[in-house]
Amino acid sequence: TERSMALAEQAKKVAAEFDFPKENVNKAVKEFLREMSEGLEKDGTELSQIPTYVTAVPNGTEKGLYMAVDLGGTNFRVCSIQLHGNTTFSLTQSKVAIPRELMVAKTSKELFSFLAKQIEAFLKTHHEEHYFHHIRRRNTGGQTKEEEIFNLGFTFSFPVQQVGINKGMLMRWTKGFDIPDAIGKDVCALLQVEIDELNLPVRVAALVNDTVGTLMARSYTSPGKTGTLLGSIFGTGTNGAYVEKLDKITKLVNKKDAGNYDNSTGEMVVNTEWGSFDNSLRTLPNTAYDIELDEKSVNPGIQMFEKRISGMFLGEILRLALVKLLHDPKVSLFKDENSATNDISSTTTIAVDSPIWKQWGIDTSLLSICAGDDSHGLRITRQTLDKDYGISAASAEDAEAVKIIAGAVGKRAARLAAVAIAAVVLQSGRLDTANPATTEQKENISPPRGNVQSEGRGEVREEDVIDIGVDGSLVEFYPDFEEHIRAALREVEQIGEQGEKRVRIGIAKDGSGVGAALIALVAGKVA
Ligand code: ADP
């Protein structure tokens, strides 16, 4: 009909505003590389490029029993991880909600002694023999043997100034926490003091960033012998950590009081904090919707890359685009007076309290639903609009318009993600190290997981693979997120089709568990 054609035209026009063509991808990659280098030289740059003091990634042969704890926001997670040394592991875990009053406790001791008590309870439940053996020995005046001590990785997802593998000062609390006396203190020491007070056989061996955990977890579990280059997260937020050559991290190696680290590998993992890439918008796309989202956010001008990529924001970008169409009298979105749903003609209505009218009202999962919907007349999308968004009897044409715009927002996010991945691949120099033309057949050794299906691209030799770990709901559940990333990687001039084939992308689950354990292991070797 005339109406549906006009609507489709409008939707395509809006979708086109989210185009991020080849030329712009290449410009952004160049800028990303520039900011990476700048961040390695000095502090206070757009990409923070934080040295993590982790100087090696695992290869899957690591063995042993480790502990990990994760303080991230609402929950405190305690786990023990048995690394089997053949790329597999077993994990036991418990989880407790942090009582609200402890988040704003008078002293940090209240919070950290609570955390230590959870570790004690976990040991009593899951490692009873180990725990009581240790207590008996202590009570009879014996010394704890080194091999009886659990090395623990502490994932602490608040901003810290890290100065050693198990030392970092809290810069500020976020996410509703507020315990002033903890600011400026070493959070590992705060935890260790409480652990020691309970006499537990536990050493806080490593302070862990969740992105670094993702890199380590992927490197341990990934097929093949080449260590993983990059761990990246596309969830609520986005970030990446990668393996850098130590001599390029000049702001660390030239510093006199840089603290201790093992320099024998010549490498160190760097936490890019890439969510704030190009905050000054030299190369990032910037639509009216991006501008409005940023202006109404709690941190305007900050995390500009993240605001175009991650789960926390994509739903809102879509919502702002839809609202603009709804306010345009010439456009007929959701104004069908004769929409045929299940053969019953009815008028489309939007509830007055529909989430579509509220900031953050649309969840990014709607983008995944639209992208994955190939049902007849987009029935699934229309049902979701009805059930979750108070938009009843939307027509197939309406749903198609939503799908077109949502697809454009999702595709742009994936192409931006590719900018970061491409820059890290180029920065590593790994593309220069082998000749992909001399390829041989190698079978796909691990089954595809979720939507991330590229484990092993048949024709590339194992030693030429550049392995990348990803985690987060967006990359896991958005259909074709990886395929859009790959298409953009091929468009990067210095990567092309040959380079893109060498990039293996795989899910890395559970960075704050097994990843943290692996960092505790690496740290234990140094100590
Ligand atoms: P976190 O990053 O907090 O550890 P997740 O990786 O689960 O957790 O990411 C949560 C984010 O992913 C939220 O912003 C949510 O809106 C978004 N999200 C949840 N489900 C989906 C989905 N199916 N497709 C795309 N995004 C999703």
Active site includes 210?
Answer: yes
- Ligand 1 neighbourhood includes 451 CB (under 6 angstroms): no
The finding on whether 363 has its CB within 6 A of some atom of ligand 1 is yes
| Residue 366 alpha carbon to ligand 1 centre in Å | 11
DSSP state of 434: S
| Residue 355 CB neighbour total at 10 angstroms | 17
Catalytic residue list contains 203:
no
Residue of 251, 218, 263, 255 whose CA lies nearest to 53:
263
- Spacing, Cα 114 to ligand 1 middle (Å): 29
CB of 31 shorter than 6 A to ligand 1: no
pLDDT of amino acid 438: 45
Element (H, E) at 497: helix 496-502
Return the residue whose CA atom lies nearest to atom 15 of ligand 1.
311
Query: Ligand 1 mean position to 322 CA, how many Å?
Result: 21
Predicted local distance difference test score (pLDDT) of residue 454: 52
Which residues of the chain are under the pLDDT cut of 70? 337-345, 434-458, 526-527
pLDDT at 446: 47
- ipTM of predicted assembly, 2 dp: 0.98
Q: What is the pLDDT of residue 157?
A: 85
Buried-exposed string 63-84: b where 16+ CB fall within 10 A, e elsewhere:
ebebbbbbbeeeebbbbbbbbe
Q: Does 113 participate in catalysis according to the annotation?
A: no
> Which of 157, 354, 365, 473 is an active site residue?
157
The residue among 361, 407, 400, 359 whose CA lies nearest residue 377 is: 400
477 lines ligand 1 (CB under 6 A): yes
CA distance 218 to 215: 5
pLDDT at res. 510: 80
- For ligand 1, atom 11, the nearest C-alpha belongs to 236
- Choosing from 474, 475, 478, 510 the residue with most ligand 1 atoms within 8 A of its CB, the one to mutate for a pocket test is 474
Ligand 1 centre distance from Cα of residue 123 (Å)? 32
- pTM for the whole thing? 0.90
Residue 503: strand pairing partners = 466
At 219, the amino acid letter reads S
Distance CA 306, CA 503 (A): 23
Residue 64: per-residue pLDDT = 95
Tell me, using a 6 A CB cutoff, whether residue 20 lines ligand 1.
no
- CA 311 to ligand 1 center in whole angstroms: 5
pLDDT of residue 338: 64
Sign of CA dihedral 219, 223, 229, 233: negative
* Nearest CA residue ID for atom 27, ligand 1: 365
Please work out whether the CB of residue 312 comes within 6 Å of at least one atom of ligand 1: yes
Indicate whether residue 472 lines ligand 1 (CB < 6 A). Answer: yes
Helices and strands (DSSP H and E) totals, the chain: 18, 17
CA separation for the pair 41, 253 (Å, rounded): 10
414 CB within 6 A, ligand 1: no
Please report the DSSP string for 141-153 in residue order: TPPPPGGGSEEEE
- Work out which ligand 1 atom sits closest to the CA atom of 233: 2
Domain covering 2-19+285-412 in this structure, CATH number: 3.40.367.20
Nearest-atom index, ligand 1, CA of 311: 14
235 lines ligand 1 (CB under 6 A): yes
Residue 479 CB–ligand 1 contact under 6 Å = no
The candidate with the shortest Cα–Cα distance to 518, out of 217, 79, 90, is 217
Residue-level pLDDT at 523: 87
List the catalytic residue out of 172, 178, 264, 375. 172
Residue whose CA is at the smallest distance from ligand 1 atom 7: 473
Mutational pocket test of ligand 1: of 380, 473, 476, 480, the residue with most ligand atoms within 8 Å of the beta carbon: 473
Q: Which of 70, 80, 113, 210 is catalytic?
A: 210
261 within 8 A of 53, measured Cβ to Cβ: yes
Q: Is 474 in the pocket of ligand 1 (CB under 6 A)?
A: yes
Testing ligand 1's pocket by substitution, the residue of 77, 236, 411, 452 carrying the most ligand atoms inside 8 A of its CB is 236
CA 511 – CA 240 distance, rounded (Å): 12
Return the domain boundaries, the chain.
2-19+285-412, 63-208, 222-280+414-510
pLDDT tens digit sequence for 204-241: 999 999 999 999 999 999 977 789 999 999 998 999 99
d(CA 461, CA 437): 10
Q: How far is the CA of 220 from the centre of ligand 1 (A)?
A: 24
**Is the Cβ atom of 410 under 6 angstroms away from ligand 1?**
no
What's the length of the chain? 527
Fold of 63-208: Nucleotidyltransferase; domain 5 (3.30.420)
Question: What is the rounded distance in angstroms from the CA atom of residue 323 to the CA atom of residue 325?
Answer: 5
